[in-house]
């Protein structure tokens, strides 16, 4: 559903309900809201933020905490985000007329791909509200109904019980008597509770255990952030019995204080994070401690270096992902300070406290004692940046010292941003960020610039963060160098970024830097107390990672998108040689069967697209793209997707206007991005008939000839030839392909292109003229009852936002058919629209010396005059 349905049902001159139009605020996590609605029938409206809208269900009896009670939830139209704050009266006579009161609100999270889970019909999620807590399920019912029906029920977790939504109305605004009577709730109600308490573990006397540790002492509960202990960067992990070695978790350092049972979270630079990560706050509260202090790292996924982007995107609301706090130190517990106890003893008590099964979203940072080599090897094999080595016999000491050592396997370091260069080409915001490091002689010293590794969303965020700041003169010491900085804009050190590099070159400037992350958890002042040894020269020392390994590990720059030119040669041949390619992701669950009747697996699909990628890529690269994804295979729920989704890191986006506002459309720029979509179980590729950079200008027309029941294949072939001949009469050359289904596509290139306002009227008029010529053979309406025995000429694929299947794309149908471009002279030898499949298409392409469409990419032709508004 779209917000257009919401808008259609309401008159905003008669109701105070918010109009659509606002996007989700950046940097915020998805919300949920539940509203009690006294309409013609009393019910609860259950809403989850997905993107820029609230997916909505009407739940007549409200949520129940009893996992055995499954409440009907009727899916209704999406609502705008502003609706989360709406309360009060909807006027009688308007859609949904009656009283609306907010029942509960908060954030929600899931480990699922939300769109895929909803399409499949089962979404598992967590709610972090005052009344609704813990895990929940939405499962689509198989019963036929006018509106999709789902079942909402509680997960069997620590919060499961007998509470009902109606037991929690203590602070919910009551409706006027008339609304209550009309909704069938005229009797006075019991006010009930106002929130559900955190489900804590049975209380344990941890203070007694803490007092047994060496150097333990009684102390007041911490009432604010404390100064953390920090590690120095070393060349290699120290060896010997006193040392214990932990994984270097790739996340954000979080400090935990609990006072009078109240949990608070702090970043390394003393910013409060309590409300940013409610799942962590709740998990710590479940320990049932009166006072405590912990040290840990907030992570997403496994906490490896490849998961750091997931962490940032989860916190910013760009995608959904599960978060956890990995605890590696315990400093205070229930009135007992143990900071002076040996680390071995502190960690042993921490591990006992968390238990064999820690509360959800908490984890214990285990370690290896003594064997540094094994720790480093384990970290490297598991994809972590390195290890943190700590003296197990020492107390916890704030600040940086030799008791904690950091050994990195991947060269990266942190820098202050001190300026930017202007953008070039199609890039917006800035071209690159200018970097600096503290310098004992000059204060700050220029270290180079970083211009790769930025997503579109991050470019927008940083551009807004920088604003109009900047001046022509450098604000830091710039050593002599060959870099052209004449157009650069400079400002005082403002924020911190972490950057990969391949060492330093002349004058200490970074070689081939690439952005790893923006570090909002660190300030520029932190760099003055960094773990980096500047050496005698005052310049950063070269990274300690060997050059050969660093070159292998450094992220590769994305290949520039090839200009799609379907019809000349395969992509690699057309370019002369293959462009540098990013590494595609490994397929997860490669043995999962996606075409059950043909026993074809996800690995077979991945192998097919890898083999035909040089042919497919020019068809889709640089265009807004939709895909058909089948997470459970073609016999399960498949869905059409056009917007970016959680987890996609290689696929890019273009922001385009839609009926309900604007949306981020998928754009593929190279083979790795296309194969990432395959990893997401995409089987079909459907590009626009326009480039992403010029979305309002069509560069092709597609006539889809779709035969109805009773139409022979030979009649469809004859129809395609008739379309070709009629187009030739108006001076337009056309090309043909099988669709992988029953029909054929006749495709007309436009060079230069034409606006959609001219293309669609031309396509419609052409189709209708065919119908008028042969009304017993053709039909131009999609209504099925008119199509029996006729060929439907689908001209609607020629409007802005419409798509058609790409040549060489698979189809999500039995047999794994392929859409195959043909020469006109070969059409008579083809037996059906699904003659080519995953199994035989690669062999056909291997025999071809050139693209069957030959001149398609070079042909110059325009629309006949007289169509549209030009």
Catalytic positions, written as ranges: 248
Query: Among 811, 864, 866, which Cα is nearest to 837's?
Result: 811
From CA 149, how far away is CA 147, in angstroms rounded?
6
What is the SS3 assignment for 756? Answer: helix
SS3 of residue 255 by DSSP? strand
Name which of 370, 324, 329 is nearest 349 in CA terms.
Answer: 329
Question: Strands (DSSP E) along 443-495, which ranges?
Answer: 443-450, 489-490
Number of other CB atoms surrounding residue 13 within 10 Å: 5
Q: Pinpoint the alpha helices (H) of 70-149.
A: 114-120
Distance from C-alpha of 319 to C-alpha of 24, rounded to nearest angstrom: 12
**In terms of Cα–Cα distance, which of 105, 106, 123 is closest to 114?**
123
Checking 195-200 for CB contacts under 8 A at 24+ apart, the result is 195/130, 195/131, 195/168, 196/65, 196/130, 196/131, 196/132, 196/133, 196/159, 196/163, 196/168, 198/133, 198/282, 198/285, 198/286, 199/133, 199/134, 199/158, 199/159, 199/286, 200/285, 200/286, 200/287, 200/288
Extract long-range pairs of 436-443: CB within 8 Å, 24+ residues apart.
436/476, 436/493, 437/527, 437/532, 437/534, 437/539, 437/540, 438/527, 438/528, 438/530, 438/534, 439/477, 439/534, 439/538, 439/539, 440/534, 440/538, 441/477, 441/538, 442/476, 442/477, 442/538, 443/476, 443/477
Closest CA to 766 of 796, 795, 734: 795
Q: How many helices (H) and strands (E) does the chain have?
A: 16, 40
Residues 6+ apart with CB under 8 A from 523: 269, 495, 496
Residue 406, Cβ density class (10 Å: 0-12 exposed, 13-18 middle, ≥19 buried): middle
668 conformational bin, left if phi > 0, alpha if psi -120 to 50, beta if neither: beta
What whole-number distance in Å separates Cα of residue 797 and Cα of residue 809?
17
Rounded Cα distance between 272 and 288, Å, is 21
């Amino acid at each position: 559903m779209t917000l257009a349905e919401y808008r259609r049902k309401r008159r905003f001159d008669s109701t105070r309900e918010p109009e659509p139009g606002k996007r989700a605020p950046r940097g915020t996590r998805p919300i949920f809201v539940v509203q009690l609605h006294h309409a013609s029938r009393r019910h609860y409206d259950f809403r989850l933020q997905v993107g820029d809208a609230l997916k909505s269900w009407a739940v007549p009896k409200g949520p129940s905490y009893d996992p055995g009670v499954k409440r009907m939830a009727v899916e209704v139209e999406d609502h705008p985000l502003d609706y989360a704050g709406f309360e009060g009266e909807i006027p009688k006579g308007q859609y949904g007329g009656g009283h609306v009161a907010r029942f509960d609100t908060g954030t929600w999270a899931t480990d699922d791909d939300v769109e895929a889970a909803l399409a499949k019909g089962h979404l598992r999620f967590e709610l972090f509200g005052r009344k609704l807590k813990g895990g929940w399920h939405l499962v689509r019912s198989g019963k036929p109904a006018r509106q999709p029906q789902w079942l909402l029920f509680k997960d069997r977790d620590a919060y499961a019980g007998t509470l009902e939504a109606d037991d929690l109305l203590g602070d919910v605004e009551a409706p006027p008597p008339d609304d209550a009577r009309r909704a069938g709730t005229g009797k006075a109600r019991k006010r009930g509770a106002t929130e559900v308490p955190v489900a804590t573990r049975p209380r344990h006397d941890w203070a007694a255990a803490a007092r047994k540790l060496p150097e333990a002492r009684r102390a007041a509960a911490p009432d604010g952030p404390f100064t953390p202990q920090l590690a120095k960067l070393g060349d290699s992990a120290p060896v010997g019995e006193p040392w214990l070695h932990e994984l270097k978790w790739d996340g954000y350092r979080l400090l935990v204080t609990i006072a009078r049972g109240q949990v608070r979270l702090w970043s390394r630079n003393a910013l409060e994070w309590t409300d940013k990560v409610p799942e962590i706050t709740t998990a710590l509260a479940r320990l049932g401690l009166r006072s405590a202090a912990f040290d840990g790292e907030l992570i997403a996924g496994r906490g490896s270096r490849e998961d750091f982007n997931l962490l940032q995107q989860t916190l910013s609301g760009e995608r959904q992902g599960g978060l956890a706090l990995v605890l590696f130190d315990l400093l205070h517990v229930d009135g007992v300070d143990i900071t002076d106890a040996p680390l071995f003893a502190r960690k042993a008590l921490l591990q006992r406290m968390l238990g064999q099964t820690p509360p959800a979203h908490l984890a214990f940072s285990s370690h290896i004692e003594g064997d540094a080599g094994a720790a480093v090897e384990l970290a490297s094999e598991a994809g972590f940046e390195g290890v943190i080595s700590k003296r197990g016999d020492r107390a916890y000491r704030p600040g940086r010292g030799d008791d904690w050592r950091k050994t990195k396997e991947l060269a990266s370091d942190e820098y202050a941003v001190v300026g930017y260069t202007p953008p070039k080409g199609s890039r917006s915001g800035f071209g690159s960020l200018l970097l600096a490091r503290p310098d004992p002689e000059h204060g700050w010293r220029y270290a180079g610039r970083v211009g790769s590794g930025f997503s579109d969303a991050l470019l927008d965020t940083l551009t807004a963060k920088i604003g109009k700041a900047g001046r022509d003169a450098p604000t830091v010491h710039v050593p002599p160098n060959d870099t052209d900085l004449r157009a650069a804009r400079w400002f005082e050190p403002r924020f911190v970024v972490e950057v990969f590099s391949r060492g330093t070159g002349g004058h200490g400037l970074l070689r081939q830097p690439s952005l790893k992350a923006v570090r909002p958890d660190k300030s520029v002042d932190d760099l003055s107390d960094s773990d980096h040894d500047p050496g005698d020269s005052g310049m950063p020392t070269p990274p300690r990672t060997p050059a050969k390994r660093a070159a292998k590990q450094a992220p590769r720059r994305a290949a520039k998108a090839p200009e799609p030119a379907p019809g000349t040669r395969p992509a690699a041949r057309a370019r002369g040689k293959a462009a540098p390619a990013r590494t595609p992701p490994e397929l997860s669950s490669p043995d999962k069967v996606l075409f059950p009747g043909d026993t074809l697996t996800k690995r077979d699909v991945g192998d097919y697209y890898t083999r035909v990628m040089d042919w497919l890529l020019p068809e889709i690269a640089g265009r807004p793209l939709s895909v058909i994804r089948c997470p459970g295979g073609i016999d399960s729920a498949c869905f059409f997707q056009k917007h970016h989704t959680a987890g996609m890191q290689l696929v890019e986006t273009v922001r385009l206007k839609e009926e309900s506002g604007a949306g981020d459309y998928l754009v593929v720029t190279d083979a790795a991005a296309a194969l990432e979509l395959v990893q997401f179980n995409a089987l079909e590729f459907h590009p626009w008939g326009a480039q992403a950079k010029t979305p309002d200008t069509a560069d092709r027309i597609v006539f889809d000839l779709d035969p109805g029941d009773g139409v022979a294949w030979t009649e469809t072939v004859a129809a395609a030839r008739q379309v070709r001949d009629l187009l030739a009469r108006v001076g337009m050359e056309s090309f043909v392909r099988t669709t992988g289904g029953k029909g054929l596509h006749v495709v007309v290139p436009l060079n230069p292109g034409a606006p959609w306002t001219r293309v669609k009227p031309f396509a419609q008029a052409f189709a209708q003229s065919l119908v008028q010529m042969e009304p017993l053979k053709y039909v131009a309406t999609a209504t099925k009852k008119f199509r029996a025995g006729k060929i439907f000429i689908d001209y609607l694929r020629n409007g802005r936002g419409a798509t058609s299947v790409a040549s060489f794309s698979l189809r999500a149908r039995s047999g794994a058919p392929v859409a195959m471009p043909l020469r006109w002279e070969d059409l008579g030898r083809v037996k059906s629209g699904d003659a080519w499949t995953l199994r035989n298409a690669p062999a056909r392409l291997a025999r071809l010396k050139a693209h069957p469409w030959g001149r398609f990419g070079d042909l110059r032709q325009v629309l006949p005059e007289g169509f549209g508004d030009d």
